[in-house]
Structures are given as C-alpha cells and as structure tokens.
Amino acid sequence: MFGWLFGGGGDVKTLDPGVLRNMLREKDSPYVLVDVREDKEWAGGRIAGAIHAPLSRFDEAAAKLPKDRPIIFYCASGMRSKTALRRAKAMGLNAEGHLGGGISRWARNFPVVR
C-alpha cells in the first residue's frame, strides 16, 4: 500500500524515509512514531512528533504506548528499532514497521528538531 520495503526478516517492515514522511503527513494520520534511542541521542535531535521510548527502558515505556494505533519505530541506524518492533509485537502492540537506516538516513533529506 505505501511501498513497504521488506528487510531484516519476514516479520519486519522496513520503511524508506520518504515513505514514512508521507505516511506521517497524511491528514489524520493514525501512526505513532517512537524513537528508541537513549536520552543523550534524543536530546541531540529527533523527528518531529516522535515519542521517546528508549530501548534500555522499553518495557516500561511501551506500557504507555497506544494499543489501537499503528506504531513505527526508529533509532540511529535501524538495528535497535528492529528489536523494539519485535518486542512490541510480542507485547501485543500494533507494531507496524521501522525506519530503515534510522534517523541518520532521515536527516540526509528531512529536518530533525532539537
């Protein structure tokens, strides 16, 4: 539907930054964007509208995420977000996908906020 790219195993939907940007810009977008990087990384810049749920404290943070909305995860390069996606699915969350290449790839073409 949105041009998903599959990578890192059949259970992980990997999104291109441009595809993610379009998804987030949809009118009344249902997507929840979750940054799983640590506090210092978060403070250095993030994608506008993201929720912070560091992977090191993920179970606690995930308990506060909505269960009825699709969730997209991102980190610095894409490895931790894959882990978060799988953990979220195991917890029963609507884990939709993750940003391939993480915020590092996003920042090559789109802004980050501080």
pLDDT tens per residue across span 85-104: 999 999 999 999 999 999 99
In the chain, count H helices and then E strands.
Answer: 5, 6
pLDDT tens per residue across span 1-48: 333 343 444 568 999 999 999 999 999 999 999 999 999 999 999 999
Task: Give the whole-angstrom CA distance, residue 68 versus residue 5.
Answer: 23
> Per the confidence metrics, is the pTM higher than 0.85?
yes
Q: Which of 5, 1, 13 is nearest to 86 (CA)?
A: 13
Identify the domain containing residue 13 by its residue range. 5-106
Tally of structural domains, the chain = 1
23 lies in a domain?
yes
113 lies in a domain?
no
Farthest-apart Cα atoms in the chain, separation: 35
CATH number, residue 25: 3.40.250.10
